Structure 1
């Protein structure tokens, strides 16, 4: 594998080459560093040499700027790692990073100029596992409503669970159920390939029933084992627009032996209030039945503040886009602090999504956030893996919060 450096400044190219080679590239699976003084020349090299698996690109170049270069990477179907470098403001770098990610590119990070050896090594190690090629993008599977209907009927949908932990104590206080499709030919299919289709074609209700049924069954097993967990489940707009949904959910929970106060329904902010009277009716009745309500992906919609005032939410989930890396990004930090302050004023619990590093964790602890969720804690996992993970987390959390517990306490 090769690394491609693109910058119109020959001195910067030479310095980056020296820094990268000093890290021992062979141990990381790279054989060479090649340089280009323009985006156009860099694209020509990419088209000619498929061994280029990591690109460092300057944003401010005279012939082709970094935004144009990103556009061409998408056109080429480039599936390797991308590191953006610029002397522009952090907000400008962040904007280009967001654009590249929105296009589906694998952005390993952004670096300001001058580039420090420490930050360069950090993004290099995060880019590609040692000795392994980067993930190659696969064609997006094309599924039909009939395919999904058969999957539901044949029991091919399954839940994975991502833990939520208390930031003050590190204790696991709940899990979020995340649906997957175990396709007989394609393997594990992620929800963005089929959930939007289920909503468009009237299948989301059937999908939701299967997700909730499995979530309740698994929660009952964990409660019986002594784990005092809450279960968070995403619900569709269609569900909170059906007047009989609160009674239907209560029947499902009763049949599974689950107290309703153990359930949290996560509702995406930008999809609320299409039918405000009915949704207010349904959500209020759910609260009267002690079901907790969480506004998901807060900050990504258009009318979140009004909804927080009007609807009986208990919990605010801060979108991952405002969490990860906010300790190094003043704009993200301002949004995070404002969201936490608003939640405190409204008496809402807060959950930060996208907690990927110890740096994220420590910032949230210091900021007074209540709960955390993300890869730093755990990736979503099958329900059968939860017991082992809970035991392993107990030892790890003591290190994170500096707490000494008597043996046997959970």
Structure 2
């Protein structure tokens, strides 16, 4: 695997040197620096592709806010960590700018930089990269290549556990698509979903993935009494006229009940100008399906969305989970989200939990369940069963599970 590549955008040379030393102490040797936003853009335009960009806000010329806008226009794919000594409200505003331009925001850190928080973020995204081999963005797939992958079963359902935050009992699983490409290795949905839509193969992909996942989940449900499977449905599919009837029929054909399935939609897929598929989402609930909102808090008008659709679950975005340990603002967002959910009798799941300390904090903030590497990485059904068989029969020790 190529080493993690980090670019630091910091005009203060002393701060820049300290950040370089911190990152190298974490075992990352491919570190680049820039003294201004203009230098960042120049390096990126010259084909430097950092996995992580550490971005100061107060820089000469092209400042941090301008830089985020210009990176959005360039469709920058790296993770961004905002580092600043500005007022927390200004940092939050910068985070909102990054999200507005659909950049991948890993989090923010106030100056002076907490080395432990920075190390946690770098470790998290390093783990993510190890789970998803880098694919050359200039390479694309042909329609026949994707169509063959779907029909041949090369795109498989992986399962990740969601557990009760107090007892560690498994509440359910989330189905996650993975493409085992013969030349490029294991790929995540972000590597091929856009082309699925471009080639009008999204419906074929959804049907193949969902029906295969149902067959494998039925075994998990019957043998291990796992109550439900969460399945992600792309927003484009929700505007199809008969989508709900098709999903119900597939569930019935598999010998399951709609109550065993949670339809998961990404809140961050919607912006203010986009129409909500309210009819389809309400129809899913009417037919007995569960309904979850993923990435809660990162998209457009979260509270308005919850008021319009009868969700049964809110998934708190991993960005807030990562930041919450050291950031009162992130803790407040989670705390208020949990309060809202309890008022509306909605379950909350914290995503991306990777340590026992984060597990304990999410429990303290009132979350109902967690999902993340601290429990286990996503696995194909066969490996997931082996993992289940290796677990203790009584899962009562919070933080006692290993992946």
Band of TM-score, shorter chain: 0.7 to 0.9
Q: Is the 8 A contact 1:79 1:136 kept in 2?
A: no
Q: Which residue of 1 aligns with 2:387?
A: 389
Displacement, 1:179?
Answer: 1.6
Counterpart pick for 1:258 among 256, 259, 262: 256
Q: Is the 8 A contact 1:79 1:137 kept in 2?
A: no
Displacement, 1:168?
Answer: 1.6
Q: Output aligned runs, 1:163-242, within 5 Å.
A: 163-237=161-235, 240-241=238-239
Displacement, 1:107?
Answer: 7.7
Cα offsets for 1:271-291 (capped at 9, x unmatched):
5965655654x324412xxx2
Q: Which residue of 2 aligns with 1:357?
A: 355
Cα offsets for 1:125-147 (capped at 9, x unmatched):
66869xx9xx8663253234443
Q: Which residue of 2 aligns with 1:329?
A: 327
**Relative to structure 2, which stretch is displaced further, 301-310 or 325-334?**
301-310
Q: Is the 8 A contact 1:161 1:176 kept in 2?
A: yes
Q: Which residue of 1 aligns with 2:27?
A: 28
CA distance in 2 between counterparts of 1:62 and 1:365 reads: 43
Q: Is the 8 A contact 1:283 1:312 kept in 2?
A: no
Q: Which residue of 2 aligns with 1:340?
A: 338
Q: Is the 8 A contact 1:205 1:238 kept in 2?
A: no
**Relative to structure 2, which stretch is displaced further, 191-200 or 158-167?**
191-200
Cα offsets for 1:252-311 (capped at 9, x unmatched):
33333323322111133455965655654x324412xxx222233333444544543443
In structure 2, do the counterparts of structure 1 residues 392 and 196 end up closer, same or farther at CA, with 3 Å as the change threshold?
Answer: same
Q: Is the 8 A contact 2:313 2:348 kept in 1?
A: yes
The alignment yields a C-alpha RMSD, in angstroms, of 4.7
Q: Which residue of 2 aligns with 1:113?
A: 111
SS at match of 2:284: helix
CA distance in 2 between counterparts of 1:82 and 1:315 reads: 28
CA distance in 2 between counterparts of 1:28 and 1:68 reads: 31
Normalised to the residue count of structure 1, the TM-score between the two structures is 0.73
Displacement, 1:62?
Answer: 3.8
Q: Which residue of 2 aligns with 1:313?
A: 311
Displacement, 1:191?
Answer: 1.3
Displacement, 1:166?
Answer: 0.9
**Corresponding residue pairs, total:** 391
Q: Which runs of 5+ in 2 are unaligned?
A: none
Q: Which runs of 5+ in 1 are unaligned?
A: 404-410
SS at match of 1:400: coil
Q: Which residue of 2 aligns with 1:406?
A: none
Displacement, 1:9?
Answer: 4.7
Counterpart pick for 1:143 among 141, 144, 154: 141
Q: Which residue of 2 aligns with 1:370?
A: 368
Cα offsets for 1:85-115 (capped at 9, x unmatched):
4322234445556767998999886543334
In structure 2, do the counterparts of structure 1 residues 302 and 392 end up closer, same or farther at CA, with 3 Å as the change threshold?
Answer: same
**Relative to structure 2, which stretch is displaced further, 184-193 or 135-144?**
135-144
Q: Is the 8 A contact 2:341 2:347 kept in 1?
A: yes
CA distance in 2 between counterparts of 1:278 and 1:72 reads: 36
In structure 2, do the counterparts of structure 1 residues 368 and 74 end up closer, same or farther at CA, with 3 Å as the change threshold?
Answer: closer
In structure 2, do the counterparts of structure 1 residues 402 and 187 end up closer, same or farther at CA, with 3 Å as the change threshold?
Answer: closer
**Relative to structure 2, which stretch is displaced further, 57-66 or 183-192?**
57-66
CA distance in 2 between counterparts of 1:65 and 1:321 reads: 23
Q: Is the 8 A contact 1:81 1:128 kept in 2?
A: no
CA distance in 2 between counterparts of 1:303 and 1:97 reads: 16
Q: Pick the structure with greater CA Rg.
A: 1
Q: Which residue of 2 aligns with 1:283?
A: 284
Cα offsets for 1:144-166 (capped at 9, x unmatched):
44433332223322111121111
